């Protein structure tokens, strides 16, 4: 089967080619080859990707994508704010998880969750060029080489991870009602 | 002569494929174990089934006749591991073939992943999901809506609040 060899435009300027004529592609029998550019869409032609599959797609997404995904629709927001996805997005770039995964999960969830951890105590500490997704090639060249899929966030070592987790704990306790604390300590 | 399995698509077309090709689908493997050689797939159209068979044929060939000792070791390892994504296909030629294979529009990809999910062809599901995830990377919310044909059901106020909350994610490239 011959397919047109067309470059798929990933991030960057990300221009979508829209099919202006709203072509409906009917499903006739037999073999036919769809000679369309990979991101051309007729609005009526897209199959409905169930929630499970959308969740699976988001499992492979980085934090920036999750942030944008939350703005797509109500259902996507619910999916994109799932703590499991944020756990994956955060820990993906950690060289080593400081304790057992289950333990980490319990603690972080009790202290406010991974999404909160990311927005308050991870994001502000990313190098300025790492914070901008799809930085120009010069900025990327100045960073230490990063392997694998995390093009945007450099790998975090033990110290950075511990710092964020500590700040998360402190932030949590600061928010606790001071009256509760004094009552507990003083009242017995 | 290799044993043949007959697959029947939703719109009635019949496809005879070698057993090892069909067995890329765990579902089919289980059904055939119960001694049933004709497998109706009412939810899968011919067009999609042809593409899925093409994938299975390519991957069955590589799995049975590894090009190098390392790729066969990787194939053995990946088939025994439980579901884990980002499990890269080690053979670069196969990976290149996979990348060509997924150069389809979103509509076709969604059809394929739904069928592959139904047929339990783990690697194909993984491949398509990775591709889709790559496509939404770097896209704005409006573009994601267009790609997935999703209606924006936020009120303007909600949308504004969300954009503010997630403004860090929207810094343009």
**Residue tagged 């999750």 (tokens):** A66
Averaged pLDDT, B93-122:
92
Q: How far apart are CA A42 and CA A94, in angstroms?
A: 40
Q: Which of A57, A71, A149 sits opposite B129 (nearest CB)?
A: A57
Query: Is B63's pLDDT higher than 50?
Result: yes
pLDDT of residue A101: 87
Q: Which chain A residues in 140-179 lie under 8 Å from chain B, judged by CB atoms?
A: 149
pLDDT in tens, A88-125: 888 888 888 778 889 999 999 999 999 999 988 888 88
Across chain B, mean pLDDT equals 83
Q: How far apart are CA A29 and CA B46, in angstroms?
A: 7
pLDDT of residue A29: 36
Nearest C-alpha in B relative to A62: B137
Is residue A34 less than 8 Å (CB to CB) from chain B? yes
Interface test with A, best of B136, B151, B159 (most A CBs within 10 A): B136
pLDDT of residue A127: 63
Query: Which residues in chain B belong to E strands, given as ranges?
Result: 4-8, 14-18, 38-40
- The number of CA neighbours under 13 Å toward the Cβ of A36 is 21
Question: Which chain A residues are within 8 Å of B145, Cβ to Cβ?
Answer: 72-73
**Residue tagged 């890269």 (tokens):** B88
Averaged pLDDT, B79-93:
55
pLDDT of residue B38: 86
Task: Indicate whether this model's pTM tops 0.90.
Answer: no
Question: Which chain A residues are within 8 Å of B48, Cβ to Cβ?
Answer: none
Two tokens at A149? 């899929």
Higher-pLDDT residue of A117, A2 = A117
pLDDT of residue B37: 77
Q: Is there a contact between B93 and B67 (Cβ–Cβ < 8 Å)?
A: yes
Residue A183 C-alpha, separation from nearest chain B C-alpha, in angstroms:
35
Higher-pLDDT residue of A158, A6 = A158
pLDDT in tens, A26-48: 333 333 334 444 444 444 445 56
Model confidence at A20, pLDDT cuts 50, 70, 90, reads: very low
Q: Is the ipTM above a cut-off of 0.85?
A: no
Helix (H) or strand (E) holding B132: helix B122-136
Higher-pLDDT residue of A109, A126 = A109
A85 alpha-carbon distance from chain centroid:
7
Q: How far apart are CA A90 and CA A164, in angstroms?
A: 11
Q: How far apart are CA B172 and CA A92, in angstroms?
A: 23
């Amino acid at each position: 089967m011959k397919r047109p060899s067309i470059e798929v435009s990933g991030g960057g300027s990300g221009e979508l080619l829209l099919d202006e004529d709203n072509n409906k592609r009917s499903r006739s029998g037999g073999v036919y080859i769809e000679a369309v550019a990979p991101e051309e869409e007729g609005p009526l032609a897209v199959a409905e990707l169930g929630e499970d599959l959308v969740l699976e797609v988001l499992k492979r997404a980085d934090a920036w994508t999750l942030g944008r995904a939350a703005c797509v629709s109500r259902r996507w927001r619910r999916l994109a704010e799932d703590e499991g996805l944020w756990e994956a997005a955060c820990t993906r770039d950690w060289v080593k998880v400081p304790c057992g995964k289950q333990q980490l999960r319990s603690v972080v969830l009790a202290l406010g969750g991974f999404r909160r951890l990311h927005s308050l105590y991870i994001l502000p500490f990313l190098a300025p060029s790492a914070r901008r997704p799809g930085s120009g090639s010069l900025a990327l060249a100045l960073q230490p080489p990063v392997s694998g899929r995390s093009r945007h966030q450099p790998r975090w070592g033990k110290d950075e991870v511990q710092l964020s987790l500590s700040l998360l704990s402190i932030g949590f306790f600061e928010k606790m009602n001071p009256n509760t604390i004094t009552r507990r300590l003083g009242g017995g | 002569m290799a044993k043949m399995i007959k697959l029947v698509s939703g719109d009635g077309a019949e496809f005879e494929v070698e057993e090892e090709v069909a067995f890329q689908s765990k579902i089919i493997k289980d059904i055939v174990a119960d001694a049933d050689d004709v497998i109706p797939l009412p939810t899968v159209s011919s067009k999609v089934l042809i593409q899925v068979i093409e994938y299975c044929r390519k991957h069955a060939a590589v799995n049975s006749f590894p090009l190098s000792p390392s790729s066969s070791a990787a194939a053995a390892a990946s088939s025994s591991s439980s579901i884990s994504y980002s499990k890269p296909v080690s053979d670069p030629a196969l990976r290149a073939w996979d990348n060509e294979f997924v150069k389809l529009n979103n509509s076709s990809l969604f059809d394929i992943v739904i069928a592959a999910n139904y047929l339990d062809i783990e690697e194909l599901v993984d491949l398509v999901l990775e591709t889709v995830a790559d496509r939404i990377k770097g896209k704005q919310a409006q573009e994601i809506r267009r790609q997935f044909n999703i209606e924006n059901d936020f009120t303007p106020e909600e949308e504004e609040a969300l954009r503010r909350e997630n403004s860090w994610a929207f810094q343009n490239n």
